[in-house]
Amino acid sequence: MTNMIYTAMPALPKKHHTNAVVLPSEWNTCPLSSIVEEISETVGTRKIETISISAGIGFVNQAEKFGRELSGKQYEKYIVLHKGDFSYNKGNSNIYPQGCIYRLNNRTEAAVPNVFESFRVSVGNPDYYEQLFLSGFLNRQLYSKINRGVRDNGLLNLKGKDFYSCEVPYPPLAEQERIAEILIQCDRVIEVKEQKLDELKQLKKEFLRKMFPAKGCDTPEIRFPGFTGAWEQRKLGNISDFITKGATPTTYGFSWESSGIPFFRNDSIKNNVFVFGEFSYISEAANEALKRSEVQEDDILIAITGEIGKVGIIPASVKKANINQHTARIRIHKDALPYFVYQYLASDETQKEYQKIKTGISMPQLSLEQVRKIAIRIPEEDEQKRIAECLSNLDTLITLHQRELEETKTYKKTLAKLLLTGIVRVQG
């Protein structure tokens, strides 16, 4: 928790509802303007790190986010934030259509665009209000105040006075502090779990690097005991029964369905892992017409447009499905193990090769012929099995940690809603 000294709220008329939420009778509500101070300090001639807000992440260095500084002549008008200050980014996104509010926690000071609404909490516990903002408590009110959509520059049409008129709850100070402590502890648990997950992903990355031969080599850096022979280089097309891509059903006169056969797009692959859940449905008739690209267990999917090269493997739970034209299906025959080949295609060395052979700039592409010509080194079957088992076990561990992390985030989100609205009360 911050060491900032917080102030008690002056006596206000009691209201017990805001944002369509009924609050405890002991809680006040008040406009945001009553508990915050707008920040007007500008950069001027000073040289301060320029940052922006990335939805879902928070404050990031502007040059790192956009590849260059965007401030230009406007830099001197940028607002100076000090540690503990807040900024509201009025830019909308898919996950934050009403914009997002973040607090400067990991920097002593920084400069933000003056189109942001920047402020500091002067009355009440800033940690409590940080959790309130992160929970999206203001979203419904912001939505009602945004009356003319999005401007040409991508900013929501919301005036500062309307933003600061949003009503917020004001529990007793002791309760604010206790709520903040509980939710901050949840954040610490999430941070530990995220770190552990990152460590496991990095470990797998190292395994992929060392368990597969580097470019120009025919043996890997590390091997299981008992294996010494050179790995044989093959073309992906030589170890596959069939490499093809899908098509859009509507092109053939079929419509999308509310149920039926799953239809996968590139977004079914995230971080080189197949994710069941991102799909549409097509009819049996449409699937029959697109039979050529039907997928089955152990088929490898690879993105051939956009984020080219990302790969996933179809699990046993998928009995019948199809793919679109931006995805290639690779069906490995008996000379190689599908899971081994999938891991090989996911390795950094192979991913680099995709970038060398891709075509197109605005929309990178790989042709099926390019996919067929991808070089891959293969050891004897027993060594393939050992490598595949090792990486499969590591993938299982990563999946379990990922699931646990998501469950913890969901728990925190639920708990925050209960505490921040007073449905569940805590003693200060």
Quick check: helix, strand or coil at residue 396? helix
Q: Are residues 189 and 118 part of one domain?
A: no
Q: How high is the pLDDT of residue 274?
A: 86
- pTM value? 0.82
How many domains in the chain? 3
Q: Are residues 386 and 353 part of one domain?
A: no
Q: Which is more confident, 190 or 62?
A: 190
Task: Taking residues 409-425, report their average pLDDT.
Answer: 95
What is the end-to-end Cα distance of the chain in Å, rounded?
A: 15
Q: Are residues 117 and 142 part of one domain?
A: yes
Q: Side-chain half-sphere of 338: how many Cα atoms within 13 Å?
A: 19
Lowest mean pLDDT among 105-109, 113-117, 153-157: 153-157
Q: Is the pLDDT of residue 401 over 50?
A: yes
Q: Are residues 104 and 31 part of one domain?
A: yes
Q: Are residues 351 and 396 part of one domain?
A: no
Residue 274 domain flag: yes
Quick check: helix, strand or coil at residue 77? helix
Are residues 265 and 328 in contact, defined by beta-carbon separation less than 8 angstroms?
A: no
Percentage with pLDDT > 90 across the chain: 68
Residue range(s) defining the domain that contains residue 134: 17-171
Backbone angles phi and psi of 233, in degrees to 5: -85, 130
Residue 1 domain flag: no
Q: How high is the pLDDT of residue 412?
A: 97
Q: pLDDT (tens digit, 9 = 90+) per residue, 284-338? A: 999 999 999 999 999 999 999 988 899 999 999 898 999 999 999 999 987 899 9
Q: pLDDT (tens digit, 9 = 90+) per residue, 167-193? A: 999 999 999 999 999 999 999 999 999
Q: pLDDT (tens digit, 9 = 90+) per residue, 358-378? A: 887 778 889 999 999 999 999
Q: Are residues 323 and 257 part of one domain?
A: yes
Q: Which is more confident, 428 or 110?
A: 110
CATH of the domain at 24: 3.90.220.20
Q: pLDDT (tens digit, 9 = 90+) per residue, 6-48? A: 555 554 445 555 656 788 989 999 999 999 999 999 999 898 9
Q: How high is the pLDDT of residue 5?
A: 47
Q: Are residues 303 and 367 part of one domain?
A: yes
